[in-house]
Every structure is written in C-alpha cells, then in structure tokens.
Structure 1
Amino acid sequence: MPADDGERGAAALAQMRAMTADICDVIPLTAEDDFRITTATMMIGNALLVDSRVTDLEYDRTPAHIARGGLDHFHVTLCIEGEMWFSSGRRDVMVRAGDICLLDMGPPNRTVLRGGGGRTHLRAIILQRAMLAPRLAHPDAATAILLPAQHPHARLLANHFAALMLPPAPEAGSAEVTIEAIADIAAAAAGGTADIAAGVERAERHLYLAVIKRRIADNLETDALTVDELCRHFQISRATLYRLFETDGGLAHYVREQRLNLAFRQLISPAARETRLIDMAVNMRFSSDSTFIRAFRRKFGLTPGELRELADRWLRETGAVPAIDTVLHQLARRRKS
C-alpha cells in the first residue's frame, strides 16, 4: 500500500491508538495537534515491509499487551532519519541514521523516537518468530542487536531495504529469496546457529549480486559500470566483484548481455523507431556499430535492422507492439526451422 501525504493531528493520533490498542500504548512527545504519521506497507511472502515517518513519540509494550497475544515477531529495522531508542529487559540500544537493529517484539519493551525537529524515518522488515527463531542459537536473547551504519552488512541491507520498495529488476532474484538472505544476515549478527554461520557467505553473495545487478540494470546507458566504479560504490574488492559474476561468465560478459537485451527491447518499441543504430551502439557503449551488430546477431540470430523490420511488420499486421516473449518465441521457432 503506497504512502499518502500522511495523517496529522489529534484525530490521527486517536485512530492510531485505536489500531494499536492491543499491541502497545502510543504516547506523543509533541502536542497532539502536531502529531503526524505517514506509513506504507508491502507484503513480501510471509514478511511485511513497513516504511514509516512519524513525529516524536513513545511506544510502550507492557506485560498486559503481551498477555493479549497476537504479536510474536522480530523486526529488522533500518533508521533512515532521526533516532530510535529501544529497551527490553536489561537490553537497550540507540539506533541512529544508517544503523540497522534486530528487535524482538515478543517480550515487553519500550521505544522512543526523536526526529530532531523533524520526523523519524524508519523502514522495517517484520519476520514471524517461526521464521527467524530457528536461525538463532539463543532466540530469547536476540534483541537490541545493532549493526552500525559503517558495518558492511548494514550498508548491504540498507541497499536492499530501498530496493524492496521498488519494482523487481531483471535477474535480481525473487524478493522472497532476498528476505531469506536478510534473515540469515540478521541472525548471524545476533548469534546464529552453526548452519546459519556457514550460510552467511551464500546470503552475502545473493544480496551483493542482486543489488549490483539492479545498479547495472539502472545504468546500462552510462559509464557507471566500470570495475573501479562498482567497487567504489559497493565498497568491495575487485576480487570479490569478479567472484560474484563467475557463474554469469564474468562481469564484462554480463554487462554486455544486459545491454544487448536492452537494445532488443528498444528495437521492438515504436518509441525508438527513429533511433539510428550507430546512436544505439554508442548508447550501449559498443566501440562501433559493426561491433554492436555482430554481437547482437550472435546473441539473437538476426541483426538489429532485421529485428526492427520484424517488429514493424508485426505492428502493421496486428496493430499492437509485440511482447518480448512473443518475439523471442518466434525467433526460436525460426532458428529451428
């Protein structure tokens, strides 16, 4: 559910209190008329992604709330703006911008949000206990676990918190698998089981590969895809970057394949009908139009010009732009014949 412009004032506060009466007490730290909250939620498999912006307030989850049941989850929370203080039993933690924290909402706890004159902006993945607890060596002690902003895993997870709010990128992997990998990283930070400790490298690989592939998909027509630029942006070594793309035939091969795929999509689109092949080749960072045409023919079995003619004929005959899968199916049938 996309965020709106937010609700404000005493009426919004009363509505929030009514909705959360069985979960916690909501105590504003501003005048009630100054209260404001904006939220967006998204279901991803069995997880819930919540993005919220709220004025200063306190959540108090008491033993009475616990007794009412209905909430037995862990939160993996990213602080984007402002700060959050969380306390549960003898554990407490201060979470500031860029930090990520694992919180257990099962026992009584208290949360204070302060935005420094603005609103605190949080993004949380809410995981069922049945999903995360088996990953933890000591699940009842896994709360107020902080990954500071400068930690590589915090930066990696923050990238995915943002990406999960967007449409999926080509070949970026399913959102459900990403949630599983995030759960593995969070569990490892809190003291995971032996199996989780052994699987952290696999989870890291999935998360790095997914977020790097998303950046590649967003920058195919730019110069931001050099090895040095990607290493700098994601703060990883060249060796790590190369290892990540070994199964894709190497980074250079993967980027070239994605640029050819983008060219394919553009060539069957009427919006790019007037684009010259030399200009497309330059946009896709090929050294010449002849190099572009040869690479395109090797991948798809026809030249860019032939594909454009095929798409134009399809449009004239059917009155509709052909779907990419339809064109690929037709090309595969033609190659077989």
Structure 2
Amino acid sequence: MVADDPERGARALAQLQVMTADICDVIPHTAAGDFHITTTTIMAGNALLVETAATDLEYDRTPAHIARGGLDHYHITLCVAGEMRFSSGRREITLRPGDIGLLDMAQPNRTKLRAAGGRTHLITIILQRAMLAPRLAHPDSATATLLPSDHPHARLIASHFAALGLPPGPEAGNVEATVEAIAHLVAAAAGGTADILAGVERAERHLYLAMIKRRIADNLQTDALTADELCRHFRISRATLYRLFEADGGLAHYVREQRLNLAFRELIAPSAHDMRLIDLAIGMRFSSDSTFIRAFRRKFGLTPGELRELADKWLRETGAVPAVDTVLHQLARRSTSQPR
C-alpha cells in the first residue's frame, strides 16, 4: 500500500482513511493540506514488513474495528525517527529512535505519532498470532512490551529490520529463520514460555551470525574483515566471534570461501573477460595470483583460467552464461564422470 500525495495532502489523508476503515480511525494532527504519509509493504519470509513515514497523526483501533475486521496479529515495531506512543487498556509505552515495541492488534488500542514538524519513521514486522502466541506465557497481556534502544536484544533485532527488506544473499541465512529468531527474543522479553527462555542463546547466535555474514558479504574486497575489526564493529569478544564460526570451519576459512565464491561469480560474468587474474587475486585479498589459483582449484576443481574458457564457450554457443548454481552443477557432473 502506498498513500503519498505531498502536493495534495487532503487526498492522501482521504485515501488512507478509506483503505484503513475496517482497521482503525485515522486522525491527523496537522492541517489536511500538510498531511503526508508513505507506506511500503513487502513480504519477508513468513512475515509482513511495513515501513511507514508520516506526519503527526493518531490511529484509534476501537472494539468495533476489532469486531469488524479479521486482524489478529502482533506487530514488532522499530522506531527509526520521531516518537510513537502506544496504549492498550492500562498499558502504555513510548517508542523513541532505536526502541522496539510489541503490540497486540487483537485488542483495542491507540497509537499517536509525533515528529515535531517532521515525520515519524517506523518499521514493523507483522506476525500472525499463531506464530508468536505459543511462545508467550501470557499471550493476551504481552502487548505494549518495550525493548529500549540500549537493550542488547533491541540493538541486535534492529540491525535486521532493514535487511529483511533486501533480496537475501547466498550466505545471509534463511529469512524465515531470522524472523523466527526475532520472534523468539521478543517473546522472551515479553514473558516467554520456559522453552522460549531456554532457547534465547540459540536465537541470539542466529541473529549475530546472520548480521556478521551480511557485513562479510558486503566487504569481501576490503580489509575490514579481520577478527579485531569485526569484534569492534559488533561489540563482541574474539572468543564469541570464533565460536559463532566454528560450524563454518572458522572465521578465516569462511571469509576465504566467500571470497572464492565471489571470484567464481565474477569470472563467469561477460564483463570480466579481460580482467587479469592478478588483479582479481589482489582484489580478493590473496597474497599472490598463484595462491589464489591453488585455492580456487582446491574448491572448484579447475583453475580460474579454465573456468573463464568454459564461460566464454557457453557465451559463444548460447549467447548467455548459465546461472552460478547451474555452472556448479555442470562442473560437479563433469568431475564425477571423469575417470580417476
């Protein structure tokens, strides 16, 4: 849903009020002509991700709305800018930048957005009740739970909000698993069941690992991937960092493997036809082209030059190079069919 008409604010307001009539009443706290809202909604695995920026307004979700609509979800909301005040019954919280709140949409509530003349910016993960309620010891009294910005879990969860809206990278981890881990930590903060509390460490590990792997994927051609740099950036100890990557053969092994994977993708790209191997090796932070070639051959069963020849052949014969997974599958078949 997008409701955005900055030149004709009254139209944007009317459009939003029509679209949300069965969900809540929208009450602007600006002149109708100054009203401005942008809302983007995307699927993020088994959840819905909604990003909103709005001038001052109020949402009033009454018992009548509850009775009319089938909205029976929890919201996990991150405040990026401005202020959001949420109240439900006697429970009330105020979200400021970096704060995260758990909101139960199955209960009447009021939400007020204030941004001192600007726009309040929120990102919300919407979860079906069936996904979160079983994790809560008291599902009907968990609403208006606040994780302040200085809470370690708030910082960890907030780091994943924007990333959930991006296309998943090959090593970023399963989006559904990331949403599950976020739900796990939020449930623990809101009063989780005994099983949930026992699994907090596992959820933390998943989120930290996915977050660090994203940073690695974004910096494979830089020197920002030393243990010291990653520990400083993520505020974790060296021992914790090494434990996180034990299943991947260690941090150095994981980074090396991802650099080789990136080199593979670059070598089969038509744009890399004239790239010198020494330049690619240095770009991937290998000490020499011979070291790079040996590591590449150990991993993929052929040299970078041989892969480039195959890519050129495919391009000449078909006009395109197959996707990376297809190339790897063909190389695996070729390897098993060759006599030993």
TM-score bracket, normalised by the shorter chain, equals over 0.9
SS at match of 2:172: coil
Q: Give me the whole-angstrom Cα distance separating, in 1, the residues matched to 2:214 and 2:277.
A: 26
Q: Which amino acid aligns with 1:260?
A: L
Provide, for residues 207-230 of structure 1, a one-character-per-residue CA deviation record: whole Å limited to 9, x for no partner: 111121111111110111111211
What's 1:119 paired with? 119
Residues 218 and 140 (structure 1), Cα distance of their counterparts in 2 relative to 1, 3 Å cut? same
Aligned residue type for 1:192: G
Secondary structure of 1:275's match?
Answer: coil
Residue equivalent to 2:162: 162
Name the CA distance, whole Å, in 1 between partners of 2:298 and 2:136. 49
How far 1:52 sits from its partner (Å)? Answer: 0.5
Residue type of the partner of 1:100? Answer: I
Using the TM superposition, give the Cα deviation of residue 35 of structure 1 relative to its aligned residue in structure 2, in angstroms: 0.5
The answer to whether the 8 A contact 1:26-1:57 is kept is yes
Contact 2:44 2:165 in 1 (8 A): no
User: In structure 1, what is the Cα distance between the partners aligned to 2:220 and 2:46?
Assistant: 33
Aligned-residue offset at 1:308: 1.1
Q: Give, in whole Å, the separation in 1 of the partners of 2:118 and 2:144.
A: 24
Provide the aligned C-alpha RMSD in A.
Answer: 1.5
Query: Given residue 113 of structure 1, which amino acid in structure 2 is its aligned partner?
Result: L
Contact kept in structure 2, 1:149 and 1:155, CA below 8 Å: yes
Q: SS where residue 102 of structure 1 aligns? A: strand
Which amino acid counterpart does residue 236 of structure 2 have in structure 1? I
1:301–1:4 CA distance, 2 compared to 1 (3 A): farther
The Cα shift of 1:319 comes to 2.0
Separation in 1, partners of 2:297, 2:138:
56
Contact conserved, 2:59 with 2:110, CA < 8 A, in 1? yes
SS in 2 for 1:239: helix
Instruction: Give the CA deviation at 1:298.
Output: 0.7
SS in 1 for 2:199: helix
Distance 2:229 2:155 in 1: 17
Q: How far apart are the structure 2 equivalents of 1:5 and 1:270?
A: 41
Q: Does 1:246 align with 2:243?
A: no
CA contact (8 A) 1:268 1:321 kept: yes
Question: Partner of 1:213 in structure 2?
Answer: 213
Contact 2:56-2:119 at 8 Å conserved across structures? yes
**Contact 1:76–1:124 at 8 Å: present in 2 too?**
yes
Q: 182-191 vs 170-179, which deviates more?
A: 170-179
Identity %: 79
Give the aligned partner of residue 39 of structure 2: 39
Q: Tell me if structure 2 keeps the 8 A contact 1:6–1:39.
A: no
- For 1:149, what is the secondary structure of its paired residue? coil
Pairwise CA distance, 1:64: 2.2
Aligned to 2:328: 328
Inter-CA distance 197–216: structure 2 relative to 1 (3 Å threshold): same
Report the equivalent of 1:50. Answer: 50
Q: Measure the CA separation in 2 of the matches of 1:322 and 1:90.
A: 59
Moved more, 314-323 or 112-121: 314-323
Secondary structure in 2 aligned to 1:41?
strand
Aligned positions, number: 336
How far apart are the structure 2 equivalents of 1:291 and 1:96?
51
**Contact 2:5–2:11 under 8 Å retained in 1:** no
Distance (whole Å) between structure 2 residues aligned to residue 174 and residue 46 of structure 1: 11
Whether 2:269 is the aligned partner of 1:269: answer yes
1:259 aligned partner, one-letter code: R
Report the Cα distance in structure 1 between the residues aligned to 2:175 and 2:322, rounded to whole angstroms. 28
SS at match of 2:253: helix
Q: Is the 8 A contact 1:28 1:35 kept in 2?
A: yes
Residues 171-214 of structure 1, C-alpha deviation per residue, up to 9 Å, x if partnerless?
22221111111111110010100010111111111111112111
How far has the Cα of 1:327 moved from its partner?
Answer: 2.1
TM-score (norm 2): 0.95
CA distance in 1, matches of 2:20, 2:139: 25
1:26 aligns with 2:29: no
Structure 1 unaligned residues grouped into runs of 5+ = none
Q: Which amino acid aligns with 2:244?
A: L
